[in-house]
Structure 1
Amino acid sequence: MPEKPDGDGRHRSSLDPVPYRVVVCRDCCCGTSKVTGVDHAAQIERLRAAVPVRISDCLDACDQANVVVVRPSAAGRAAGARPVWLGLVNDPDATEDIAAWVRAGGPGVAPLPDILGLYVFTPPRRRATG
């Protein structure tokens, strides 16, 4: 099966429909000292232990730092699920809840845990440039 390098230098199968299940913002606010009391490296490490993770530049939701986006699997997309945006993910327990939900199937497959419902927000619309 052919492989393609991804943004982290890892390889993935070209047949893998969702190379990343979780996108974590790490730019101007998320993942920086502006969000105090959070072990940002440990958060990434814990999520990566559960699921493929992509680190993103700014997702334009700085007021919700730290932002984590959970993408549905192929089965979740087939069920009509869309990515779930979670904000203010600044607690190790929230990171554990996200990891457990994704391992259980995530959007469209496993119900969103009530506690994670407190973190859900509607992402900002990106402005068209040009």
Structure 2
Amino acid sequence: MVCRGCCCGTKKKRPGVDHKGQLERLSGLEDHEGRQVPVRVSKCLGICFKANVVVVQPSAQGRAGGGRPVWLGEFTEDRLIDDLDDWIFEGGPGIAPVPESLEPHLTSKNAKKPKKSKLRKKAKAKKKAADADRAKRKDEARPGGKKDKKKKKAKKAKKSATAKKADKKAKK
């Protein structure tokens, strides 16, 4: 089964991958008896952060041998299709072990998107605070900035108060 829905199989999620060519190659795979391996296309398998997802179903003999579906994520390189072809030719899940080259791509339907580390979050918050502080200092330092405007306003208010006092004295 090959995911080709919302994210998988799109240039938006995985640019630089020949998705159509990859699907054609997967559709051309044969097992050790020369039978074409059926390839079903799914709209979404739900683990979009691992796009391009391929699920390898065991054959009847593989299932009898304890084989279960094997989920492979980030399936974007042509060499992976060659390795998958060799594995299926050897019998696939339940008969032949997963090749070492495919092991880093093993995932599951219940895979969870990895959470960002707390350190990364703290560093991001610290950077944001520093940027805000830098912007505040820059704004205060330039003519016409907030601090400059406040000073002018206070000076004007002081002059106005002094002028009012002078007017009162002049009237007396």
Common fold, TM-score beyond 0.5? Answer: yes
The amino acid of 1:46's aligned partner reads: R
For the 8 Å contact 1:24–1:68, the answer to whether it is kept is yes
Match of 2:44?
58
Instruction: Name 1:30's counterpart in structure 2.
Output: 8
TM-score, structure 1 as length reference: 0.76
Deviation at 1:122, TM superposition (A): 2.0
Amino acid at match of 2:70: V
- Residue identity opposite 1:26 in structure 2: R
Question: Which of the numbers 75, 79, 82 marks the counterpart of 2:65?
Answer: 79
- The one-character-per-residue Cα deviations of 1:81-125 (angstroms, maximum 9, x if unpaired) are 110000000101111111221122100111110111110012228
- Asked if residue 100 in structure 1 is aligned to residue 71 in structure 2, the reply is no
User: Greater CA radius of gyration, 1 or 2?
Assistant: 2
* Alpha-carbon contact 1:68-1:87 (below 8 Å) kept: yes
- 2:24 and 2:89 mapped to 1: Cα distance? 15
* Structure 1 unmatched ranges of 5 or more: 1-22, 126-130
Comparing both chains, which one has the higher relative contact order based on Cα–Cα distances under 8 Å and sequence gaps of 6 or more? 1
Q: What's the Cα RMSD here?
A: 1.1
Higher normalized helix content (fraction of residues): 2
In 1: Cα distance, 2:3 partner to 2:72 partner: 11
Structure 2: distance between partners of 1:106 and 1:62: 24
Matching residue's letter, 1:112: V
% identical aligned pairs: 52
Instruction: Say which SS state the counterpart of residue 71 (structure 2) adopts.
Output: strand
Which has a greater percent of strand?
Answer: 1
Q: Could you state the TM-score of these two structures normalised by the residue count of structure 2?
A: 0.58
* Unmatched tracts of structure 2, length 5 or more: 30-36, 112-172
* Counterpart secondary structure, 2:106: coil
Q: Secondary structure at the match of 1:53?
A: coil
Instruction: State the distance in 2 between where 1:97 and 1:37 align.
Output: 20
Aligned to 1:119: 105
